[in-house]
Amino acid sequence: MAAGGKCGMTALVLLWLPIFLGAQVLNMPVLTVYRFGIYFIAFLIGYCILSHDSAQEKLSKNCLPLAGAAVVFGIAYMMLFHGKNFAEPQCLKNHVTNIYLWLAVLAVIGCGRKFLDRETRLTRLIVHSSYGIYILHYPVLLAAGYLLCTYLQLPAALNYLIALLAGVIITPALYWLIKRVPVIRWLVLGAKGQ
């Protein structure tokens, strides 16, 4: 694993190739957005390489060129697939899609490390509650999406905005509520103590 931290910038960018190859295999035949090949490769790269401070520091130093390249490939991606179903295998397995996604991931990690890696009272609070918020965000978003689509006939953009607000507001509130009830805290979050 220590060798993963020795990757240079060229090697980090060229990891789009295993991502691309992972996108070609272990995809579900009906639910094509479940792409276990790419998930597994991305997990291994993240665990073995991108978890190293030295790799993150390289991305931090090169974050603006990475972001620029991601924007260029993002425009190419939009031109190629505008109006098409982005969940179709032709899109998901395309090399432009995978280069764009990989450059965007590297840019987000690099820019996040460079511009957002600060410790404040709020970030310390978020660190301690991140697992619970992670666990609860999906049920909140599912419930919001179900209620919005079943009972309200709003424009799609408004549905997304309301779901986003529900996720950002309701998820932490639900976490803080569940965290205070011992039995429910243990059942939902697996946490015994406060």
Tens digits of residue pLDDT in 79-133: 999 988 877 878 888 999 999 999 999 999 999 999 988 889 988 888 888 889 9
Question: Which DSSP state fits 190?
Answer: -
Measure the CA angle with vertex 95, ends 3 and 2; round to 5°. Answer: 5
Cα distance between residue 106 and residue 77, in whole Å: 17
pLDDT in tens, 143-168: 999 999 999 989 989 999 999 999 99
- The mean pLDDT of 170-194, rounded to a whole number, is 87
Cα distance between residue 12 and residue 60, in whole Å: 12
Q: What is the pLDDT of residue 194?
A: 59
In contact, 171 and 137? CB cutoff 8 Å:
yes
Domain ranges for the chain, please list them.
2-116, 121-189
Tell me the pLDDT band of 33, cut-offs 50, 70 and 90. Answer: low
Q: HSE-up of 18 (CA within 13 Å, CB side)?
A: 13
SS3 of 28, please?
A: coil
